Amino acid sequence: MTMKRKGTHYERELVHLLWDEGFAAIRSAGSGSMQYPSPDILAGNGAIFLAIEVKVREKLPLYISAEKLRELVMFSNLFGAKPIIALKVKKEKWRFFELEMLEETKKGYKITQKKFFEGKELGEILNKYRQERL
């Protein structure tokens, strides 16, 4: 499976998970292919609105450019959504990251193996529950 097809597959999987949780969700077809910033997925339930950038990796770390995050923040601010990075790593559950959870690098941001397990679960991002972390 090509990387693009794999990404599309996981974006669709996440859209289904969001619908199962009572959120309307759509994929933004061609995100990153036009001059305007757009997230991979938009989701909302009337009270919570999310602009989600989806990343899929075989292994970590994941690096995200500062420009990519600036675009996500710009879109989110204009739309009234919370910017979220959704990360799926092979054989692991989805993890979700608010921007302040990311580690800053010289050229952008990263999520390490350790930071991955500090990521939130879907229910936490959707305000369904809160997990205490030690």
Residues taking part in catalysis: 31
Q: What is the DSSP letter of 25?
A: E
C-alpha span between 43 and 24 (Å, rounded): 5
- Assess contact for 53 and 72: CB atoms under 8 A: yes
Contact in structure between 65 and 73 (CB atoms under 8 Å): no
Are the C-beta atoms of 130 and 120 separated by less than 8 Å? no
In the chain, the N- to C-terminal Cα span, in Å, equals 38
Show Cβ contacts of residue 90 under 8 Å, excluding neighbours closer than 6 positions.
57, 58, 59
